[in-house]
Amino acid sequence: MAPRSLSFVLLLVSYAVASSSSATVPTVSASAFSSSTPVTSSTSSLSSASTSTSGIATSVSTSSSMTSYLATETGPLTLPISHYSFTPFPTPTLAPEPPGFPATDPLYPPPVSADPVIVPDFAPAWAVAYTKATSMISNFTIEQKVNITTGVGWTNGLCVGNTPPVGDFPGLCLQDSPLGVRDTDFVTSFPAGITTASTWNRALMRARGLAIGQENRMKGVNVALGPMMNMGRIAQGGRNWEGFGADPFLSGEAAYETILGLQSGGVQATAKHYMNNEQEWKRTQESSNVDDRTEHEIYAQPFMRAVMAGVSSVMCSYNLVNDTYACNNNKTLNDMMKREFGFQGFIQSDWSATMSTLSAVAGLDMTMPGDITLGSGTSYYGQNLTDFVMNGTISVQRLDDMATRIIAAWYYLHQDEGYPNATVSSFDLYNPINQEVNAQSDHYLIVREIGAAGTVLLKNEGALPLDKPKSIVLVGSDAAPPVSDQGGDPSGILAMGWGSGTDNFTYLVSPYEAIQARARVDQTSVFWNFDDWDLASAGNSVIGMEAAIVFVNSDSGEGYITVDGNAGDRQNLSAWHQGDQLILAVAAQNNNTIVVTNSVGPLIIEPWVDNPNVTAIVWANLGGNEAGNAIADILYGAWNPSGKLPYTIAKSPTDYPAQLVTGGTAADILSINYTEDLFIDYRWFDAQNITPRYEFGFGLSYTTFEYSDLAITEISPADSAQMDLVQNWEDGGATPIAEGSTTALWLHMPAYTVTFNVENTGTLYGGEIPQLYIHHPPSAGEPPSILKGFTNVEVSPGQTTSVSITLSRYDLSIWDVVRQGWAKPEGTITFSVGASSRDFRLNGTIPS
């Protein structure tokens, strides 16, 4: 076992102190927090940290909002005032060794692969950036370094978050969102994260990331606030659609490719929200209580992949994790993110999620947007951080580390080399500073392709693809162009949810428009009825039509907006606007009723799924600008459906392992206990033997595929591998407690290649998503099947293609809580390859 570093030992000590303390946060003063206001009362005694200083002081009282967060069920859990020494985490280094482990600049990532075997090594690029950053700050004063870490305050800049210029550092523009550049014009609205995940296609994930990155660069955004990679633990979770579904492996791969894409476009990416921000209700007043193994294997996995993609920034979330606020959490920030994952970039807070000046000690590098509460004019950093450094509470070394990480991330993306100035104007779109830079390019092509590839065909009784129908009728407002923009009750096609995870539609193609255009080609009579509420009229309008297409949707978003009683999270899992009744009214009159859904997540579709007159179900997710065109591409077979569900569609809401926790008084901190532990989504259904309506990974095609000839071969470790660690792992040892232990090359390089054949046995060209699930021995305590590989193939009718999926030692490991490392469980590990989490076609055993 490698020796622990000094910094890690110190961390453990400080964490132990913090955990056992019952000290409360001192009453601190805040001052103008992003200025060069000189500190006139530099002090040396600790007690002075809790007294007012001069400067533009705004006194921070221990108001209920400050005291309430201490009232957790296990009592206060904050760091005590003390002297905190600090040693920076060393960069985990291992000589790069191409081609498997090439030194990689984030602007030039390895080419995308459906079966990635290259582990990019970003350490040399970070090292160069660190040298430059260290040199830049060498002459900075404490106040200047503090200003690097402190946002200028809510609405005080062009972007949703801003840091001020300091010396030669121009400051940063931080801007939402995960699906495009928010709060500006002439940008693309890309399909949401959930749609992108439904493609199970790494090339499309990468292409979308790159295009969003390019648009951010064109608008002068330094730091894009995405991707979002929370797990969709609760089907009703308001922001699930921003993320990549309910499986950590799929979500991790989507995050990985998105970040490689974004950063190759020039913008810094932000992995958010770290972590366990799984519901909107009381998101700032809920403690997600999660055991260590579940945290590692489920919720942290996408963030680990983000670090492996060389992500520049991580955003800590609003909620508490195990009774400590996520932005004040030494365990998740310092120990997991920086020590275990070896993260070299900076951690920023979610907007006003910073809870203390001492968060700096817990690992928070930047407070956003700067103020304690939005617009308060106070800050936990700014003058307070200056004071804490001046009086020795927080060491200068830690402040240097914070400033270095932020500036290094800027150098790392080469943003010192002629990067455009910000031209967004978030709080006043029509300000002339918004130079109307057109960032769209031809990105609509990617939008349309992902929209189609991210649509899942759930049922098809021969109704699709449409073949020059004589007459069709479109029913439901979701078929129509919206009357108003996103953010309210959907008045037309739902192409994204609401909240900060959005951008402004430059244009939006509805299904109505796309189908009209096609009808001209096919000479089809098209009728429409967009009224969701008049069921009799809906039923009458479809009588005698060759096909009736009913469009329904379900919306959700960020909790600061409530729509029709949905405070971010959905109140239920039914289609909005009485969608179930609308479908039944149409199906009662037409025996070729095709249902199209635009939903932020799972719906309960039992009222109509088995209705014999419902001949097809098209699960179209949230398509962005080109939503209507993508739906038409699926309906008419211009794209043979290949999407697969990134979550389970249950028969009943209570079948899901976890439910939204509501209630609580204004002061309460809700306890959300993740009692299902590893068994989220399909893992639960499998373990509990609950039959889902449509399982995770399910999706039909207009053709059929057969699988054959499974083989698995062991790959001998590359020269660069740490053979002692490989051997230790083979012998049942756990990964050592060390910097970068979880992201180490030896753990992630290819260890086994699984090969098999996929034959297109139908009559149409099409794509399939072969999936690989691991089955651990029962003694390991794992769910019956866990996704550990997928790829995408496209095959012509009658043709067979050979497929490979690579597994690493990490893929076969489980987190050992006692040894605090990844280890191979004892016993035989088997695996299956197939078309969904319940449609296994081939089975094999990992050689021991």
Nearer residue to ligand BGC within complex by CB, 426 or 741: 426
Count of residues touching ligand BGC (by CB under 6 A): 7
Does residue 350 touch ligand BGC according to CB under 6 A?
A: yes
8 Å CB contact between 396 and 85? no
Contact string (CB under 6 A) for ligand BGC, positions 305-344, x = contact:
----------------------------------------
- Residue 20 in 3-state DSSP? helix
Question: Which phi and psi (to 5°) does residue 346 adopt?
Answer: -115, 150
Site for ligand BGC in 252-291 (CB under 6 A): 272
Residue among 625, 501, 488 at smallest CA distance from 561: 488
The residue assigned the tokens 């957790």 is: 72
Nearer residue to ligand BGC within complex by CB, 287 or 541: 287
Residue among 446, 447, 444, 451 at smallest CA distance from 198: 451
From the CB of 788, what's the least distance to ligand BGC, in Å?
Answer: 29
Site for ligand BGC in 583-602 (CB under 6 A): none
Nearer residue to ligand BGC within complex by CB, 297 or 558: 558
Token reading at 444? 């609509």
473 backbone φψ class: left, alpha, beta (φ>0; ψ -120 to 50): beta
Give the separation between CA 109 and CA 209, rounded to whole angstroms: 12
From the CB of 558, what's the least distance to ligand BGC, in Å?
Answer: 6
Q: How many CB atoms lie within 10 A of CB 64?
A: 11
Residue among 635, 498, 497, 651 at smallest CA distance from 573: 651
From the CB of 560, what's the least distance to ligand BGC, in Å?
Answer: 7
From the CB of 350, what's the least distance to ligand BGC, in Å?
Answer: 5
Site for ligand BGC in 172-201 (CB under 6 A): 176
Give the separation between CA 678 and CA 673, rounded to whole angstroms: 13
Contact residues for 671 (Cβ-Cβ < 8 A; gap 6+)? 73, 286, 287, 289
- Residue 594 in 3-state DSSP? strand
From the CB of 563, what's the least distance to ligand BGC, in Å?
Answer: 16
- Residue 164 in 3-state DSSP? coil
Contact string (CB under 6 A) for ligand BGC, positions 115-154, x = contact:
----------------------------------------
The residue assigned the tokens 């009282």 is: 61
Provide the b/e sequence for 544-582 (b: ≥16 CB within 10 Å). Answer: ebebbbbbbbbbbbbbebebeebbbbbeebbbbbebbbb
DSSP designation for 477: G
From the CB of 494, what's the least distance to ligand BGC, in Å?
Answer: 20
Token reading at 771? 């999936």
Nearer residue to ligand BGC within complex by CB, 39 or 314: 314
Nearer residue to ligand BGC within complex by CB, 160 or 721: 160
Nearer residue to ligand BGC within complex by CB, 222 or 806: 222
Nearer residue to ligand BGC within complex by CB, 160 or 187: 160
Nearer residue to ligand BGC within complex by CB, 335 or 569: 569
DSSP designation for 327: G
Token reading at 7? 């910094």
Nearer residue to ligand BGC within complex by CB, 375 or 798: 375
Contact string (CB under 6 A) for ligand BGC, positions 494-523, x = contact:
------x-----------------------
- Residue 476 in 3-state DSSP? coil
DSSP H/E element including 686:
helix 682-688
From the CB of 215, what's the least distance to ligand BGC, in Å?
Answer: 17
8 Å CB contact between 364 and 150? no
From the CB of 680, what's the least distance to ligand BGC, in Å?
Answer: 21
Beta pairing partners, 456: 619
Nearer residue to ligand BGC within complex by CB, 160 or 495: 160
Q: Which of 30, 159, 160, 223 binds ligand BGC (CB under 6 A)?
A: 160
Token reading at 543? 């009588």
Question: Which phi and psi (to 5°) does residue 66 adopt?
Answer: -80, -40
From the CB of 351, what's the least distance to ligand BGC, in Å?
Answer: 4
Active-site residue, from 350, 569, 633, 686 = 350
Strands 814-816 and 800-808: unpaired
From the CB of 316, what's the least distance to ligand BGC, in Å?
Answer: 11
From the CB of 503, what's the least distance to ligand BGC, in Å?
Answer: 12
Helix then strand count (H, E) for the chain reads 22, 29
8 Å CB contact between 496 and 187? no
Give the separation between CA 848 and CA 845, rounded to whole angstroms: 9
8 Å CB contact between 554 and 575? yes
From the CB of 212, what's the least distance to ligand BGC, in Å?
Answer: 14
Q: Which of 33, 351, 388, 411 binds ligand BGC (CB under 6 A)?
A: 351
What are the CA-CA distances from residue 423 to residues 209, 217, 218, 426, 615 (Å)?
A: 21, 10, 9, 9, 49
Nearer residue to ligand BGC within complex by CB, 278 or 739: 278
Contact string (CB under 6 A) for ligand BGC, positions 213-252, x = contact:
------------x---------------------------
From the CB of 499, what's the least distance to ligand BGC, in Å?
Answer: 7
Residue 350 annotated among the catalytic residues of the structure: yes
Contact residues for 347 (Cβ-Cβ < 8 A; gap 6+)? 274, 313, 314, 315, 316, 327, 333, 337, 338, 363, 364, 365, 366
Please give the biggest Cα pair distance in the chain: 86
Cα distance between the two ends of the chain: 23
Nearer residue to ligand BGC within complex by CB, 567 or 805: 567
CA atoms within 13 A on the CB side of 847: 9
Give the separation between CA 542 and CA 838, rounded to whole angstroms: 36
Token reading at 833? 């390859």
User: Could you give the dihedral angle defined by the CA atoms of residues 334, 336, 341 and 343, in that order, rounded to the nearest 10 degrees?
Assistant: -30
Nearer residue to ligand BGC within complex by CB, 148 or 160: 160
The residue assigned the tokens 């295009």 is: 211
Beta pairing partners, 215: none
Token reading at 86? 């600090």
Task: List active site positions.
Answer: 350
The footprint of ligand BGC (CB under 6 A) covers 160, 176, 225, 272, 350-351, 500
